[in-house]
A and B are shown apart, each in its own frame.
Chain A
């Protein structure tokens, strides 16, 4: 025991209840340091036998002051922070943020960037869904399925590292474009990975879809109706699993989605199995979209020709005083975003990822607020847990795909 042990260590949370409401009720604490809570969530549950009667969900263990930090950075230099919101699909965060700033500035991105961003968003979505499915089935004991999915996901990560230089947090988006264009042969490898994807995901279907154990653990567990899901603010696969075909890519098309042919898969009764299956089908749709985008991808520049946000070419910076000053101004002062406010949302892997930005007309945001799908989903998580078995907490929480980075910010 050290001297610090003497200190009065306060409990960081105050439970909503500390006395059982049923006669045989027992209150247990689950997490935050537990493999099945993905390290950052705490659930205080009242059990009656094996049944969860009440659940009090606490998050915030990964809070790192993202929004505060943004207020001291230029619009450009906070992009790496944005990556760390949903770190399973960092590119979607990048592009949603850049899109919001560009819309506020009135910048229209080039066609090639528009298609590339769409392609990379879908590619990230596959990686994100794979992480979710892999983790949730592994927690139910499906180690083989986990390894198959992780194999593909790692190929995707390595492939994205070829493009961006980083496996997970890519920082690839730029206001007005992208960091750089595709390296040579990147699309060929993409086609290969998509073919491998089909082979591997076919195996997952074979292992899981009609697996008795898997069905028993997921069917009719964690059920929520469409009405309740909307009441609790659910979006994305969580909402679609209840049967509501609500998808921002279809409903309010952005980037190049209006030109693509794709379906919005929905579930039947909003249980864990449906959430698994909706994600599996969405990955197929993403592959279908990526194949179309590979055909559609036009040649041309990736950065806009707008000196308010895009950096001048390096040779010009070294030879021309105007470009040199421009470069310095963009680095030191940041892009000058006109005063105003904007709420812009993209369909991220987990649901509606909204950026609410307030600019006071300088190179630094006055406010950056993120409407993170995971955080809102945590607000309704207790509805999915109450009335089911304690062991179902693991299976339900897995299919909700809570990402600590965006939930806690």
Chain B
């Protein structure tokens, strides 16, 4: 693992007033929503984080802002990972989409939108992907009861 590169990324992010920290082999950074897209551009353009691994959200009911949106990136050249995290409130769960930068973001953002109702500004195609058209609610939110069923076809008696 290329610790030296992560150290450089860290120094650079600190110089922009952020507080990244190392956690279990990757560099983790919490940042405000407006800074997301620029930071990702910086990571991709300057430090070679070219593989967008994953986006998901974490629901913290009772906390304000309620959701964390979590992104993971990997550098195929230097074999290191970065995690970005940004908090969004329940009444305005919007973050910028990474589709302009990574094609793989399209599907993963659709999944995150399905499961948590996070809106990705700039992703024109947020149709359901794992769920189906007309599904009510967002099943991975903590207030969605596990037992709730919404069959498309009525159960056989």
Contact = CB atoms under 8 A, between A and B. Distances in A.
B26 to A, nearest CB: 6
Interface stretch (A10-18, A77-85, A120-128, A161-169): A10-18
B125 interface: yes
Interface string B129-153: 1111110000110101010000011
Contacts of A232: 103-104
B43 to A, nearest CB: 14
Counting from the closest, the 4 A-B pairs by CB-CB distance are: A233-B104, A379-B107, A12-B132, A60-B130
Which of A69, A369, A376, A378 is most buried by chain B, counting CB atoms within 10 A of its CB? A369
A356 B72 contact: yes
A: interface residue count bin = 35 or more
A68 B104 contact: no
Interface residues of B, number: 45
Contacts of A408: 130
B140 A343 contact: no
Nearest to A239: B76
Contacts of A246: 76
A290 B96 CA distance: 46
Interface in B96-118: 102-104, 106-108, 111, 115
Given A244-B76, A246-B76, A343-B83, A68 B133 contact: no
B110 to A, nearest CB: 9
Nearest to A11: B133
A375 B110 CA distance: 11
B53 interface: yes
A251 B79 contact: yes
Which of A4, A7, A71, A379 is most buried by chain B, counting CB atoms within 10 A of its CB? A379
A68 B140 contact: yes
Nearest to A409: B130
A343 B24 CA distance: 8
B56 A369 contact: yes
Q: Interface of chain A, helix or strand or loop or mixed?
A: mixed
Interface of B: 1, 23-26, 50-54, 56, 58-59, 70, 72, 74, 76, 79, 81, 83, 102-104, 106-108, 111, 115, 125, 127-134, 139-140, 142, 144, 146, 152-154
A408 B131 CA distance: 9
Given A68-B140, A379-B104, A408-B130, A235 B154 contact: no
Nearest to A371: B54
B79 to A, nearest CB: 4
A202 to B, nearest CB: 34
Interface in A364-386: 366-367, 369, 371, 375-376, 378-380, 383
A286 to B, nearest CB: 21
Nearest to A245: B76
Contacts of A12: 132-133, 152
Contacts of B103: 228, 231-233, 379-380, 383
A111 B92 CA distance: 49
Contacts of A72: 146
A65 B83 CA distance: 25
Given A68-B140, A358-B58, A344 B107 contact: no
Contacts of A292: none
Interface string A386-409: 000000000000000000000011
